[in-house]
Amino acid sequence: MDPQVFIDIEPEQMRARAEAYHKRGWRFVNICGSTVPEGVELIYTFSDGEPFENLRMTVPNGATMPSVSDLYLNSFFFENETHDLYGVTFAGIAIDFGGAFYAVSVPTPMNPASAQAVNALAEARPTTSEEA
C-alpha cells in the first residue's frame, strides 16, 4: 500500500513547494478540494515513482490561489474543476474555462457555503417589490 505522507502547509507556501517538486523532477498527480468548516481544504499530490506526497492546506471560501499550470500543464484540468465545484479561484490557469468547465446546474455544488453559491442564491431570490 502507498505510504501515507500528508504534509500540512500554509496556502502561501504552496507555490514554492510546487516549484521545488518540479525542480526535483517530481510528477504532478492531483488537486483534491473538500469542504471544511473553515472553507476549503486543498490537497496537492506529487509523485516520483513510488514516493508519493500530499500537501494539505485550508483556504477560506472564495480564496484565490496561484496556478501551477505553468509548471505542470496538466493541472489546468484540476484547477478548473476545483474552481467550478468549490469556488476557489486559480490565478493564471494556462487553459482557463472561466467557470464553464463543468455543466452543473448550481454554482460550486460541492461547496454550498461558498461566497459564489451564496451570491447566486441571493440573485435568484425575488426582491421585495417582486414579492409584493
Partner 1 sequence: MANRTVIPFGPQHPVLPEPIHLDLVIEDEKVVEAVPQVGFIHRGLEKLVEKRDYQTYVNITERICGICSFGHSLGYAQTVEALMGVEVPRRAEFLRVIWHELSRVHSHLLWLGLLADGFGFENLFMQCWRLRERVLDIFERTTGGRVILSACNVGGVNQDIADEDLRGIVVVLDGLRPEYSELLNTFLYDRSVENRLGGVGCLSKKDAVDLCVVGPFARASGISEDIRSYGYGAYGALAGFEPIVSTRGDGYARCEVRALEVLQSIDIVKELVDKIPDTPIAVPVKGAPMAGSCAATRLEQPRGECYYYTRGNGTKFLDRFRIRTPTSQNVAGMVATLQGCDLADVPLNVLTIDPCISCTER
Residues forming contacts to partner 1 in the complex (CB under 8 A) are 1-2, 4, 6, 25, 27-30, 32, 34-35, 43, 45, 47, 49-50, 52, 54, 72-74, 76-78, 84, 95, 97, 100-104, 109-110
User: Which of residues 1 and 122 has its CB atom nearest to partner 1 in the complex?
Assistant: 1
Instruction: Let me know the angle formed at the C-alpha of 27 by 69 and 12, rounded to the nearest 5 degrees.
Output: 55
C-alpha torsion sign, points 77, 81, 84, 86: negative
Q: What is the rounded (10 degree) CA torsion for 52, 85, 88, 55? A: -10
For partner 1, the closer CB: 14 or 83: 83
Least CB distance to partner 1 at residue 81 (A): 8
What cell numbers appear for 120 in the block?
447566486
Of the pair 41, 89, the CB lying nearest partner 1 is at 41
